[in-house]
């Protein structure tokens, strides 16, 4: 059976206590869920959520991490600190990091390599802005983000990597790419991956869609041949909306 990966990105929402309460509710309500599921609370809530999720099948994710192991890097959080709290997956290259905090492909690649070196799974986010799409630059932008983001990542590490295609114009806007449109971009991502790693490796890559995924569009999106999961923002903040997405089939 095809495997899906559904991840909740809680972004800058919820205190530690609120996060623990949601994690506890998800632990209970997702007990029978057959998909791979991850939640990524804020850094400040990782410790509490880790305790709540211990022994469950829900993976603990982080939303970002610093590009160095340790040292004089005020405000950064290291891969070693994340691992220490039980984090298994890290989201890197989110468009909010790229556009608001001006993270470059080179910086993101440094983080990708560091996370993989320490055995963390990576969700590498890619996606075009509306201007880039309208200027006909979608493939160039997404292709470059994949190639540069995965530079020097050896083929044997690919099972640790998930790509999340998140069109920037669809994030938090209520606008979703049509399933056909999203699928076509996912197919293009696979083509780029095939050029880097070969057809076989590209076929087995998990590529999530993100951008206004809700209970009422999740099954249609994930029913498309190249869409293997979802990276969910707003709808991941409540069990009522995240559970039906995670258990969409
Ligand atoms: P929304 O689901 O709120 O559009 O956010 C998507 C996202 O950015 C997930 O990382």
The domain limits of the chain are: 5-246
Q: Tell me how far the alpha carbon of residue 72 lies from the centroid of ligand 1, in angstroms.
A: 32
Would you please indicate which residues are annotated as catalytic (active-site) residues?
A: 94, 166
pLDDT (tens digit per residue) in 32-78: 899 999 999 999 999 999 999 999 999 999 999 999 999 999 999 99
The reply to whether ligand 1 has any atom less than 6 angstroms from the CB of 212 is: yes
* Nearest CA owner, ligand 1 atom 1: 233
The reply to whether ligand 1 has any atom less than 6 angstroms from the CB of 228 is: no
Model confidence at 220: pLDDT above 70 = yes
Model confidence at 101: pLDDT above 80 = yes
Model confidence at 1: pLDDT above 80 = no
What lies within 8 Å, CB to CB, of 55 at 6+ separation is none
Model confidence at 20: pLDDT above 70 = yes
pLDDT (tens digit per residue) in 71-100: 999 999 999 999 999 999 999 999 999 999
Q: Tell me how far the alpha carbon of residue 159 lies from the centroid of ligand 1, in angstroms.
A: 23
What lies within 8 Å, CB to CB, of 79 at 6+ separation is 65, 66, 69, 90, 114, 115, 118, 120
The reply to whether ligand 1 has any atom less than 6 angstroms from the CB of 9 is: yes
- pTM check: above 0.95: yes
Q: Tell me how far the alpha carbon of residue 209 lies from the centroid of ligand 1, in angstroms.
A: 9
The reply to whether ligand 1 has any atom less than 6 angstroms from the CB of 236 is: no
Look up the CATH architecture of domain 5-246.
Answer: Alpha-Beta Barrel (3.20)
Quick one: angle between helices 215-222 and 179-197, nearest 10? 50
């Amino acid at each position: 059976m095809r495997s899906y990966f559904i991840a909740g990105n809680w972004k800058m929402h919820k205190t530690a206590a609120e996060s623990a309460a949601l994690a506890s509710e998800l632990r209970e309500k997702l007990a029978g869920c057959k998909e791979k599921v991850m939640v990524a609370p804020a850094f400040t809530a990782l410790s509490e959520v880790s305790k709540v999720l211990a022994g469950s099948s829900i993976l603990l994710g982080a939303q970002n991490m610093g590009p160095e192991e340790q040292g004089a890097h005020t405000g950064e959080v290291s891969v070693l600190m994340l691992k220490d709290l039980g984090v298994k997956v890290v989201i890197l290259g989110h468009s909010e990091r790229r556009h608001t905090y001006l993270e470059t492909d080179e910086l993101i690649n440094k983080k990708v390599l560091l996370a993989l070196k320490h055995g963390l799974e990576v969700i590498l986010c890619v996606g075009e802005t509306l201007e880039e799409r309208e200027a006909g630059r979608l493939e160039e932008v997404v292709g470059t983000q994949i190639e540069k983001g995965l530079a020097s990542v050896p083929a044997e590490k690919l099972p640790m990597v998930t790509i999340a295609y998140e069109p920037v114009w669809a994030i938090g806007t209520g606008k979703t790419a049509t399933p056909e449109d999203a699928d076509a971009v996912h197919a293009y991502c696979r083509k780029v991956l095939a050029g880097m790693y070969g057809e076989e490796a590209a076929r087995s890559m998990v590529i999530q869609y993100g951008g206004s995924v809700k209970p009422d569009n999740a099954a249609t999106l994930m029913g498309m041949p190249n869409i293997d999961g979802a990276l969910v923002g707003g709808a991941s903040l409540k069990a009522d909306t995240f559970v039906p997405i995670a258990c969409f089939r």
